Chains A and B, each alone.
Chain A
Amino acid sequence: MSSKPPIISIEGVTKRFGDHAAVDDVSLTINEGEFFALLGPSGCGKTTLLRMLAGFETPTEGTIRIDGKDTDGVPPNRRPVNMVFQSYAVFPHMSVADNVAYGLKIDGVAKAERDRRVEEALALVQLEGFGGRMPDQMSGGQRQRVALARALAKRPRVLLLDEPLSALDAKLREAMRFELASLQHKVGITFVMVTHDQDEALALATRCAVMERGRLIQLATPSDLYEFPNSRFVADFIGTVNMVEGTLKTDNPTEAIIATKELGDVYIDHAVLGNEGATLYLALRPEKISLFRRDGVVPPKLEDCPEGYNVVAGVIDHIAYLGSESVFKVILTNGRQMLVIRPNLTRWDQEDFVEEQPVWLSWHACAPAVLAG
């Protein structure tokens, strides 16, 4: 797999509008068959990067290679990529079948073959029998699938998707998410998807590029992004996190201690490889913290608290019941607020946690991600 050359390679690409760099020195490669997600807050340059791949914008600096060929000066209609637009851009004056056939007609595909491929593409997005309809007789989700079928019918090397699900309601979005994933499996085409919805990116992508203000911050698998963020920005952007500032107190090959104002000394079971006294940040995910009742004053015994070592005291301030899980807002004795998430494993809370309940918070020594900046 690694022997294959990447289908897309972006080398030092910058795009300036006036003196504002919408995309700032981005380099990355995308492999054949990947489901690649571009993730980032609004205005970070995701769409601009995608449009450069499609050929609607030209990089101010840098090179984009698709399938090994430099795309400089290659117009959109001569690139082996197709795009699904955020607004779908389904031609309103053509029937669904004509929409899907459009690219094939342009390519001069014979009528019989064309009809077959239109049928095939419509079946792929589960729109069999809708060919005769006009777009204004279709729902938003159906139109989105027409746009998808239209791009897929051309059998591109790469399919570019700009926030393909953003216009759909939550339920439909979730359903379409699975459909997109299985579709990509079926057709085996490389997908590059822009989204600002982190759930969507985590659920679908093989790899994710997180961007901020035009720059590429981290490129990793979804689980690495979540568990091993490389910066406070990524840790904060992906999921929720309790961020705590501290300084490195001791640093050994097998363990480290980080002194924090808010959590006291935090024990880490691996080396941090920093200078002692350096400012560090601990990113602690809410679901990695365990809660224990604190009815007495003694901390839970080590065997009760298998994650051991890191224990702080607090009081439950608020419980948000979300069905599959509950989010606990806990106020520590020093006033710091921590978020804790517990899955609702049983139909009623065995521990009987209520607001105002004093609790111990505990987490494993490898739970927090230690970040330099």
Chain B
Amino acid sequence: MSGENWRQERKTLLATLGPPLFWLTLFFLVPLAVVWAYSFGRNVGLTEIEISGTFANYAQAIQPLYLGIFFKSMLMAAACTVICLIAGFPVALAITFAPDKAKAWLLLAVMLPFWTNLLIRTYALIAVLRNEGYINLTLGWVWKQVGLVLNVPPFVPLEMLHNNPAVLFGLVYVHLPFMVLPLYAALDRLDRSLIEASLDLGAGHFRTMMLVVVPLALPGILSGVLITFIPALGAYLTPDLLGGPDSQMIANVIERQFKRANDWPFGAALSFLLLYLTFVMVAVQALIQRRRGAR
């Protein structure tokens, strides 16, 4: 009976897991393995790559120039993550405590930009930030009104595009939903009576937040941080379109190796360095989670 059951279950398991597994292997793992192999190879012709097992590409990748860009990317991603956390926490909190009817709409509002093409969103941001953009138009109009009564110098549009703050702004804009959703999931799961107990025992809202809500939401905060940091670290489009000459991030460098420089082995090595970094972060998070669970 139980053997029969098991066999049946295995069939269902195979039927449901099979196609996605096949898909994953064919279109993700195999190409990944190819690129991984490239990272140990060298260019022999214009299109030919010899997998020679060399570490030269990795050696090149950890030269100060590239390490600097790695470091810069991490700084950018970290700043984006911190801003997302600070901005996202109150948002997640507000959604958690909103009336049930409003909740779905608020979540939709958070998700909506998420479902819009990244390119379109980025161009929309450009339309807002550029010299003739909506912010500058508004400021210019206000300036003109002020000029009617006061004697002011002519309006100079603010340079808000093609610099590092623009990239950071774009990264935060793109990655905020990544932070809000796990935070919301963690906060929503929180037992309300714990918050009430804290208030009842004399703590105000701030101390309740710091002593009860944040510690209990920590797993959610951790996964929110990771889920935001990793894609922000690998951001390509945002620094490409919003950044200036000094705001390139590691993904832009990688892209250059594959396209303009036509140095696939080096690009592969850079890519895998980024991937290893991600693995380490995920492993650390799993370890922390495990330790909390074991306690």
Which residues on A are within 8 Å of B, measured CB to CB?
54-56, 75-78, 81-83, 85-87, 89, 91-93, 102-103, 106-107, 134, 147, 150-151, 154
A121 to B196 alpha-carbon distance, docked (Å): 21
Question: Is the beta-carbon distance between B197 and A83 smaller than 8 angstroms?
Answer: yes
Pairs A-B, 7 closest by C-beta atoms: A103-B201, A89-B197, A89-B193, A106-B202, A76-B199, A85-B193, A106-B203
Instruction: Give the number of A-B contacts (CB < 8 Å).
Output: 61
B window 237-295: CB within 8 A of A: 295
Select B198's contact among A78, A92, A102, beta carbons within 8 Å. Answer: A102
Question: Is the beta-carbon distance between B203 and A77 smaller than 8 angstroms?
Answer: yes
Select B202's contact among A54, A92, A103, beta carbons within 8 Å. Answer: A103
Question: Is the beta-carbon distance between A91 and B197 smaller than 8 angstroms?
Answer: yes
Residues of B contacting A: mostly: helix
Residues of A within 8 A of B191 (CB): 87, 89
Question: Is the beta-carbon distance between A87 and B207 smaller than 8 angstroms?
Answer: no
Question: Is the beta-carbon distance between B216 and A76 smaller than 8 angstroms?
Answer: no
Specify the chain A residue showing the minimal Cβ separation from B295. Answer: A134
| A154 in contact with B202 given A56-B196, A87-B191, A89-B193 (CB within 8 Å) | yes
Residues of B within 8 A of A91 (CB): 194, 197-198, 212
A55 to B202 alpha-carbon distance, docked (Å): 12
Question: Is the beta-carbon distance between A89 and B295 smaller than 8 angstroms?
Answer: no
Question: Is the beta-carbon distance between B199 and A75 smaller than 8 angstroms?
Answer: yes
Residues of A within 8 A of B295 (CB): 134
Interface size range of chain B in the complex:
10 to 19
Specify the chain A residue showing the minimal Cβ separation from B199. Answer: A76
| A92 in contact with B216 given A76-B200, A77-B204 (CB within 8 Å) | yes
Q: What are 21 of the A-B contact pairs (CB < 8 Å)?
A: A56-B199, A75-B199, A77-B199, A77-B201, A77-B203, A78-B202, A82-B200, A82-B201, A83-B200, A85-B196, A85-B197, A86-B193, A87-B191, A89-B194, A93-B215, A93-B216, A102-B203, A102-B211, A103-B201, A147-B197, A154-B202
For residue A239, give the distance in angstroms from its CB to the closest CB of chain B: 32
A107 to B201 alpha-carbon distance, docked (Å): 9
| A106 in contact with B216 given A87-B191, A89-B196, A154-B202 (CB within 8 Å) | no
For residue A234, give the distance in angstroms from its CB to the closest CB of chain B: 31
Residues of B within 8 A of A83 (CB): 196-197, 200
Residues of A within 8 A of B200 (CB): 54, 76-77, 81-83, 151
Residues of B within 8 A of A102 (CB): 198, 201, 203, 211
Residues of A within 8 A of B204 (CB): 75, 77
For residue A90, give the distance in angstroms from its CB to the closest CB of chain B: 8
Question: Is the beta-carbon distance between A106 and B201 smaller than 8 angstroms?
Answer: yes
Question: Is the beta-carbon distance between B193 and A87 smaller than 8 angstroms?
Answer: yes
A92 to B196 alpha-carbon distance, docked (Å): 14
Question: Is the beta-carbon distance between B201 and A150 smaller than 8 angstroms?
Answer: yes
Annotate B206-221 by CB proximity to A: 1 below 8 A, 0 otherwise.
0100011001100000
A33 to B228 alpha-carbon distance, docked (Å): 55
B window 162-220: CB within 8 A of A: 191, 193-194, 196-204, 207, 211-212, 215-216
For residue B203, give the distance in angstroms from its CB to the closest CB of chain A: 5
Residues of B within 8 A of A147 (CB): 197
Specify the chain B residue showing the minimal Cβ separation from A98. Answer: B211
Specify the chain A residue showing the minimal Cβ separation from B207. Answer: A106
Select A107's contact among B194, B202, B215, B216, beta carbons within 8 Å. Answer: B202
A77 to B199 alpha-carbon distance, docked (Å): 5
A349 to B243 alpha-carbon distance, docked (Å): 96
Question: Is the beta-carbon distance between A77 and B202 smaller than 8 angstroms?
Answer: yes
Residues of A within 8 A of B203 (CB): 77, 102, 106
For residue A51, give the distance in angstroms from its CB to the closest CB of chain B: 9
Specify the chain A residue showing the minimal Cβ separation from B197. Answer: A89
A56 to B200 alpha-carbon distance, docked (Å): 9
Residues of B within 8 A of A107 (CB): 202
For residue A110, give the distance in angstroms from its CB to the closest CB of chain B: 16
Specify the chain A residue showing the minimal Cβ separation from B192. Answer: A89
A92 to B201 alpha-carbon distance, docked (Å): 16
Question: Is the beta-carbon distance between A154 and B216 smaller than 8 angstroms?
Answer: no
For residue A192, give the distance in angstroms from its CB to the closest CB of chain B: 14
For residue A368, give the distance in angstroms from its CB to the closest CB of chain B: 44
Residues of B within 8 A of A87 (CB): 191, 193
A93 to B174 alpha-carbon distance, docked (Å): 33
A213 to B207 alpha-carbon distance, docked (Å): 37
Given contacts A54-B196, A85-B197, A151-B200, 10 further A-B contacts (CB under 8 A): A75-B199, A75-B204, A77-B204, A83-B196, A83-B200, A89-B196, A106-B201, A134-B295, A154-B201, A154-B202
A219 to B198 alpha-carbon distance, docked (Å): 32
Residues of A within 8 A of B202 (CB): 77-78, 103, 106-107, 154
Most B Cβ at <10 Å: residue of A81, A83, A89: A89
For residue B243, give the distance in angstroms from its CB to the closest CB of chain A: 41
Specify the chain A residue showing the minimal Cβ separation from B211. Answer: A102
